[in-house]
Amino acid sequence: MTQTADPLLQDIIGPTPGQLLRKRIFGHQGLLIGGVVLALLVIVALFAPYIAPHDPYAQSLLARMEPPVFLGGTWEHPLGTDHLGRDYLSRLIYGARVSLMIGVVAALISGLIGTVMGVAAGYFGGRVDAVVTFLINVRLAMPVVLVALAVVAIFGGSLTVVILVLGLLLWDRFAVVMRSSTLQVRGREYVAAARAIGCSNTRIVMSEIMPNIVNNLIVVVTLEMAHAVLLEAALSFLGLGVQPPTPSWGLMVSEGKQMMLFEPWLVLIPGFVLFALVLAINLLGDGLRDVTAPENRN
């Protein structure tokens, strides 16, 4: 009797929230593709010392400019070697660490700054909103690339400087989106009810507002993470980002541009991996936004 009643009862009650969430996750192709690609890159970055076949800093002028195996090279260096004889696959693997670290840390720094400013402006309004709006306008008037180039040129190119510069320059989108989302949510009935029973502003923001705007925050985090990765590659390409001999995909493109007409794989390989990382981050962010959107929770 129980075995026959359970399916009937389940049909009446319907799927649980956990079942709905799993259905949305595994039914979203973009989320799965982006998540798998990004997870593989994270695993490669974490276990780089065990995966890389050679020391990424070891030079061998006798083995310089060897082609990849698909262009007639040997399996000793599957993706060939650069102009100093360094194994290209090993530098590519270690370069994943640099790109992911810069993307994640820069997005966290800018996200913390922009989210606090945006939520405060949207929730309190008045003078707080006016001050935050003024700061956003000032930031939007400053070209990111030019400011980053100037700051890095003054303080020198290093991993720490690049992360701090990008983290302190990319908060404007967080602030704009969080301000707009908070303005839409703060007038809802559940926020008014929480205010009526005497909840503090901190409790209202953390318990009522943030859970309903976190999906927008996820999208901005992924966008700015991809933006930070591209900016780091651009700075390294111009010689003002991560300095040699540190493996960086942007630096690898810069070092290979002189031989691009004769050995295009020197530019195409790191460029393709950079494209794959940015695409995976964007697909993952778009998928997480669809999965966590309030209108899709029921």
Confidence (pLDDT) at 93: 92
pTM score, whole prediction: 0.83
SS (H, E, C) the chain: CHHHHHHHHHHHHCCCHHHHHHHHHHCCHHHHHHHHHHHHHHHHHHCHHHHCCCCCCCCCHHHCCCCCHHHCCCCCCCCCECCCCCEHHHHHHHHHHHHHHHHHHHHHHHHHHHHHHHHHHHHHCHHHHHHHHHHHHHHHCCCHHHHHHHHHHHHCCCHHHHHHHHHHHCCHHHHHHHHHHHHHHCCCHHHHHHHHCCCCHHHHHHHHHHHHHHHHHHHHHHHHHHHHHHHHHHHHHCCCCCCCCCCCHHHHHHHHHHHCCCCCHHHHHHHHHHHHHHHHHHHHHHHHHHHHCHHHCC
Q: Encode pLDDT of 81-117 as tens digits.
A: 888 889 999 999 999 988 889 889 999 999 999 999 9
Q: Encode pLDDT of 237-295 as tens digits.
A: 877 777 888 888 888 888 888 888 888 888 899 999 999 999 998 888 888 877 776 55
Q: Encode pLDDT of 199-243 as tens digits.
A: 888 888 888 888 888 888 888 898 889 888 888 888 888 777 778
